Homo-oligomer: A and B are copies of this chain.
Amino acid sequence: MAKNLKLKSARAALDMSQEELAKKTGVTRQTISAVENGDYNPTINLCVSICRALGKTLNDLFWNEEELK
């Protein structure tokens, strides 16, 4: 899977560490790292928590308009 650079940069824009984001979303730092690096396929609830913690929506961080497959 591809890296999630939108997530990575949204977090960077808030100067927030993976650790902080992890705490806010109630998961482990390793999980945040894995999501950012595309190492797996998070649940929608986690995605929503991440979005809320970063002030973004699902479409902002997890939707790719282009890739039509």
Residues of A bordering B, CB below 8 Å = 41-45, 47-48, 51-52, 57-59, 62-63, 68
Contact = CB atoms under 8 A, between A and B. Distances in A.
Contact of A43 (B43, B52, B63): B43
Copies of this protein in the assembly total 2
A47 B45 CA distance: 11
Contacts of A58: 57-59, 62-63
20 contacts: A41-B43, A41-B44, A41-B45, A42-B43, A43-B43, A43-B44, A44-B44, A44-B47, A44-B62, A48-B62, A48-B63, A51-B63, A52-B68, A57-B58, A57-B59, A58-B58, A58-B59, A58-B62, A58-B63, A59-B63
